[in-house]
Structure 1
Amino acid sequence: MHLAGIESEWVVDTAASYHATPVRNFFCKYVTGDFDTVKMGNSSYSKIVGIGDISIKTNVGCTLVLKDVRHVPELQLNLIYGIALDRDRNENYFANKKWKLTNGALVIAKGVARGTLYRTNAEIYRDELNAVREEISVDLWHKRIGHMSEKGLEILAKKSLISFSKGTTAKSCDYYLFSKQYRVSFQTSFERKLNILDLIYSDVCGPMEVEFIGGNKYFVTFIDDASRKLWVYILKTKDQVFQVFQKFYVLVEKGTGRKLKRLRTDNRGEYTSREIEEYCSGHGIRYEKTVPGTPQHNGVAERMNCTIVEKVRSLLRTAKLPKSFWGEAVQVACYLINRSPSVPLERVWTYKEVSYSHLKVFGCRAFAHVPKEQRTKLDDKSVPCIFIGYGDEEFRYRLWDPVKKKVIRSRDVVFRESEVGIADDILEKVKKQNGVVPNVITISSTSNHPRSAESTANEVAEQGEQPDDYVEQGEQPDDEQVEYPTHVEQQSQPLRRSERQRVEPSKYPSSEYVLINDEGEPESLKEVLVHQ
């Protein structure tokens, strides 16, 4: 139903409790839910099925946004709560059967009394609606929450944790299809535990084809059976599983005050060490190892690893980042999985409401604020980066600076979620802004004569080609910064010849030197003594 330009009549009522309307399509921002009931004029009660904002164009041409309007389908009139308008520094005037809403010298709306009610006419203003729908579209939420399924988004919307237009469906996402193709699931009859830490599943995934920072190739997961909460740790080798499990055990028991009762893993070597068995026995943990060849008994951990890898594949492909960023993508996937529709949303672990407002699209362009202690008067106040994750503390972001090749943690960040996969563009733009030009050029040559860098650069320019190997002015290698491993093949460098001028030896005269050369090299000490 298209309502742009359609007039609607509103009743200005100072005795009402809030703005209200029976028309759902008037709203430009809307949240569904059960928001109690409202008492009608005939003493009956009607349900409030939603709350939102409505943008109207008044009869004097001004735009007025009505905040927190209640959606009451059984209501017969559109109500404007006069006192609510006063809270926005407006003023209501009722005199001579006329109503006027002003803000200083500006008249915002007018109305007249008909019968016992003051009424005004207004048009539904659609520009505000279009802006809001674009901001909270289902496709944007699909990208923000790591390519979550449409069913999961609908569950979050029903819980009023996210909002988007009702009845809209997500567009076909190629990255989602590239990452997910399932086989028939293995049906089990296991029942989920009632209390947290009654059973923990664990499994190791790896090795990855590309190393993460520090040579890490694996990650290990721990999943609580009751709540399905996930913890993930990056490993360099499989023998670090026992050390990580000790940290995890202290973390969950100190954080919840409950005892870990059972640990279930597969029967691989990293879980069959005597250290783990003795540690579990000493702390009263029942250690369960599945039967060899039956991964279905540890299916929760196996499926979780599959889910994480699929999300990592989607995140990296969307962001157009190299595979060496898989560790950052794994941590982001874990962070988003713990915010999927499950028991943790009901305050099982943190006893706090789950927030989604700080989530951003992985790999999007971000601008991190540079503190004044780290810049001079004329330096830029922000640095372009790539968003790669969330920090340990709440609302702190992890960013990657592609120019300095280092990770930055910052709270003061401006995001551009529509610009994804632009790491190469940032490098090119920074080079152009800094005016970087080649300083020293090394090109292999068959000639033995030294050649200057300037002459070589001129020859290359005349041929219309750019040299492959050169050092840019102002760029120095930084050994202290940790760089992500790359797969660029190192080209063999030509031998560097000395340009120093050759000087004949002064110990022997040139005549004797030539004489010895003419007669040939001496073959014995006796021949040498004869020449003396």
Structure 2
Amino acid sequence: MTPHRHWFKSYSPHRIPIRLADNSTVYSAGVGSVVFQPVVNGKETRAVEFTRVLHVPDLRSNLLSCLYLARHKGFNITISAQSIDFQCKGILLFTATIHSNNSAELDGSTLTSETAFSVSTLPVDLSLWHCRFIHHNYAEVKSMISKDLVSGLKLESSLCPDSICEPCLAGKMHSLPFPSSLNHNRSPLELVHSDLHGPLLVASHSGYKYWITFIDDATRFRAVYLLKAKLEAFEAFKVYKSWAETQLGVKLRALQDDKGGKYMSNAFKSFTELAGIERRHSTRNRPQQNGLAERANRTMGERITAMLSESRLPPSFWGECISSMVHVWNMLPTASLSGTTPFQAFYKRKPDVSHLRVWGCTSYVHVQRDKRNSLQPHYEKCVFIGYPAGYKGWKFYNPVTKRTMISERADFDERYFPSTSKAQLEAVPSFACTPESLPLPNDTSSYSGLPPLQDEGGDNHFPPARPKTPTPSASVPPKEKPVLPLPLPVIPPFIPPVIPPVTPPQIHTRLPVTPPTVGAPLEPPHVPRRTGRVRKPPGQWWKLKQPDLAGNDSDSVLYPEHAKSTTFYSWYQSRYVPDIPFRLNPFASIPAISIPTYRSR
């Protein structure tokens, strides 16, 4: 209670009776708040605002209820012989000095209403200005003070700001970037990263919809297994563990995964515990902690899309595509390995890349003798789809028979793909050419050095791919080039052959014959000299009158009277007609040449 009206910062009328110590009654005029500036140990501290202060004009002194502060405001009041300390939540807010008349007076002074409005109840330090500047960062606030960018910015306290600002955390807290790990394991199989990708919208020809990746941290060697369901991840891990430990002769020590359900089954955990394999998991929704496997799956997805787009094959070929991609990827350098490749770091020898071809290109595969007839072509036009594990050869797909095959003899046209038109091919200039048939390397390391990937089928049938619907083009069709007439071929003049005259042939027979029926007319000068093949007949039937034979226009049939045996002889004569000229039109019909025939029986 106070009788000083001008001390109040806020004020409202309030009238209640108040009984004094002399049993007299006075009345209050109002109630409000008063700002007090404490002085502790000779220094001003943070101002304190007393609320619910009664304005009693009839009082002669100011009164402060210590019991009210202790019960309702949580103050701890300590009374000594000379002073009284008022603490709240362990902080000394103000003190009072005890006089000789056993009364105490607060150390400090009150602030009038005009001054109280310009004074903060908090210390004017960097934290206060941070809040006033809508939680702007401390560095910029300090820069404003040092560069004198604004006026009225004064610091009355040099206290260091609190490192925790809950309003800032509520509005500004975010995920910190994950720094790149600089620590790589030097021993193979000391740590293996794994991640599962899928399901894919299109299943492969064998029904696979997932793939799981295993990457050795030391060598960066990658192994991929195709899965039909997530539950097969455990079996794939056991296959990889057996294969890798057999190849390297060391034990797998740790496995890093994303703690997905496929890695957390009871069988998976029991197997790794019995094998002594340490498990490392990434936290929820933090793929960056398993970034090596996650990034590899993303890269494989991008490369598969590029390869399928180039080859124009349907998406169902992604199984063959990823197998070929991993086969080649392990032979390429990476930033984490200096001066070597994952293949060389894993197998301690350089990879041979002479057998690599453009995936999906046209290939002409040799057909062995037992697979074809004598007049059938020696090749099949196929599509190159991969490098089969365990074979020293290539894998091909025949789009006509819907079958796959493995062969070591093939010619590749790496410019042409199944859906590329010949017109587009001829428009592209050829700068280099792949040899017809490069022999495969004698060293089978390029084929045997791969993990046992699932084969998408050896000589199996593939389901026929859906025909692609041609998309109508909105562009203007190209103008047709005029067809130039080809020059007519130069035909040499025809020179008729000169046939020397010959004597009529004689036919030998043992029986006498009757005169024959008159046949086609003969021209003795045009009969060819073929009588050497005909024996001279012993009979006299040939001695016929020549004019009789010239009277008919058909063949003559000769019948002996008493035939015991009949011998057949025949020859042909071609007749040239010089009056009919040849035409230069190659499609015109050529005049027929009569060929009379002589038969005897």
Bin for the TM-score computed over the shorter chain = 0.3 to 0.5
- Could you state the TM-score of these two structures normalised by the residue count of structure 2? 0.40
The structure having more radius of gyration, on CA atoms, is: 2
Considering fraction of residues, name the structure with more strand. Answer: 1
Name which structure has the greater RCO, CA cutoff 8 Å, separation 6+. Answer: 1
Considering fraction of residues, name the structure with more helix. Answer: 1
